[in-house]
Amino acid sequence: MASALDNLRVLDFSRVLAGPFATMLLADLGATVTKVERPGIGDDTRSWGPPYDDAGEATYFASVNRNKDSIVLDLGDADDLARARALALEADVLVENFRPGLMDRLGLGHDDLAVANPGLVYCSVTGFGRGGGAALPGYDLLIQAVGGLMSITGTADGEPQKVGVALVDVLAGLFASVGILAALQHRNATGEGQRVDIDLLSSLLAALVNQGSAYTAGGVVPARMGNEHPSIAPYELLPCADGDLVLCVGNDRQFAALCAVLGAPELAGDARFATNAARVEHRRALRAALEERLATRPAADWAAALIEARVPAGVVNDVAGAFALATTLGLQPIVSLPREDGTTLDLTRNPIGLSATPPAYRSAPPRLASPTTGHERR
C-alpha cells in the first residue's frame, strides 16, 4: 500500500530520544530518513544498555530508530561536512538537536541552507529554547524537575518523583512531528519552507494541561497527591483482598453503578457523595467506605464485575501484562522488523491507524557503519 509520506526526504542529525522519535514517526509513515552519526560512536543510545536485544544491540536505540538509513560523517572533516551540506540541500526536512548555534557555525544552520533550499523544513529541538536558555543542557530528568512535573508526581508526604519513562522527550518528539507536518502543508500550498522550533520545557508546560491551567487560570499551584486526582473522586488506586484496583469514576452514573456492585447503594444517596464536587470534598471518608468493601474480594474479581457494570476499573499490569492485554484485545502491539542478517527484531507498533496509508515497517534500526564497511548502512 502507498504510504502517506512517500518521496519525503528527511535528514536526521538528532540523537537520543526526542528528535529520533519524531523522525521515526515520519519514517513509519513512508519518509526516507537518513540518520547522520558520528564515527565510532553513532547515536549516544547505541551504548545505553543493558538491556540488549538478541543481536547485542541496545534496546533503547532500537526503540526510536527503525525504518532509517544511517550515514557516518565527521562534521569536523571538510569533506564530510561538504557531504552533509549536499544532503541538506536535497532534503525536504532537516531535524537537529545540537546546542543552539553549533549548526550555524558549521554552515548547516537554517538561514544558510534556506538560501539554497528555500523549501526546506528545518526543525530544531532544544532543551530551553534558542534564547535565554540556549546554554542550558536539555535532559529529560532535568526538565521534569524544573518544569514542575516532579512536583505533582509522587505521594504527598514523599519526595518528588520522575515519570517512569523519558516522557518529556516523547512529548517533544510528538510536537516536533506535528510541527513538521504543519510546515510541510504550508510548503505544499506556497512552496516555502520554514523553521520549526521545539523546546522541551515548553513541551512539558503545554502537556501539564489541567494542572497547568489550574495555575494560569485559577491561581492554584498543584501539589503531589499520589494516585488521586485533584478534580475527580474516586479516581485512584485502592487496596483489595489481594492487590490494588484502579477506579476511574468520571460521573454520577458510574458512581451509582460502583455502589451497586459493591453492595452499598446507600453510598450513592449519601449527601457527601451524591455529586463529584461532594465526593472530592469528602474524599477521605469516601475512600474509607470503599476500602472496607473492596477488602472482601480480589482486585481482578472486582475489576471484572465493575467492567460488566460499565465502571472504568482494572488491575495494575507490569509491562509484560500491558502487552498481553493489548494482544488479547486484538490491538497487535508488536511488529517484527527484518534485520540485515535475515533475523527479525520485535518492536512496539506505531499506534496511528490510517485506512489508506497505514504505517509501514520496512527495516530494523541500522547498524553503525565502520571505516571497513563504508559510510552508509541500512
Residues 16 and 102 in one domain: yes
Q: Does residue 307 register a pLDDT over 60?
A: yes
Amino acid at residue number 314: G
**Domain span holding position 180:** 9-208+335-377
Residues 51 and 108 in one domain: yes
d(CA 148, CA 320): 30
d(CA 160, CA 197): 29
Q: Does residue 281 register a pLDDT over 70?
A: yes
Name the pLDDT band for 374 (thresholds 50, 70, 90).
Answer: very low
CB 128, CB 197: distance < 8 Å: no
- Residue 272: name the closest of 325, 233, 215, 228 by CA: 233
Number of domains present in the structure of the chain: 2
Is residue 219 included in any domain, yes or no? no
Residues 243 and 367 in one domain: no
Burial pattern 59-98, b for ≥16 Cβ within 10 A else e, equals bbbbbbbbbbebbbbebeeeebbebbbebbeebbbbbbbb
Residues 54 and 156 in one domain: yes
Judged on CB neighbours under 10 Å (0-12, 13-18, 19+), 27 is buried
* Average of per-residue pLDDT values in the chain: 95
> Helix 252-261 vs helix 299-308: angle between axes, to the nearest 10 degrees?
130
In 123-208, alpha helices (H) = 140-146, 167-190, 200-207
Specify the DSSP class assigned to residue 286.
Answer: H
Cell of 226: 499520589
Q: Point out the residues that are catalytic.
A: 169
Element holding 346 (H helix, E strand): strand 344-348
Please write the tens of the pLDDT for every residue from 57-112. 999 999 999 999 999 999 999 999 999 999 999 999 999 999 999 999 999 999 99
d(CA 373, CA 273): 69
Residues 290 and 200 in one domain: no
Residues 254 and 363 in one domain: no
Please write the tens of the pLDDT for every residue from 187-215. 999 999 999 999 999 999 999 999 999 99
Residues 341 and 369 in one domain: yes
Residues 195 and 271 in one domain: no
Pairing verdict, β 376-377 and 344-348: unpaired
Is residue 361 included in any domain, yes or no? yes
Task: Note the pLDDT of residue 372.
Answer: 41
Is residue 134 included in any domain, yes or no? yes
CB 173, CB 25: distance < 8 Å: yes
Is residue 226 included in any domain, yes or no? no
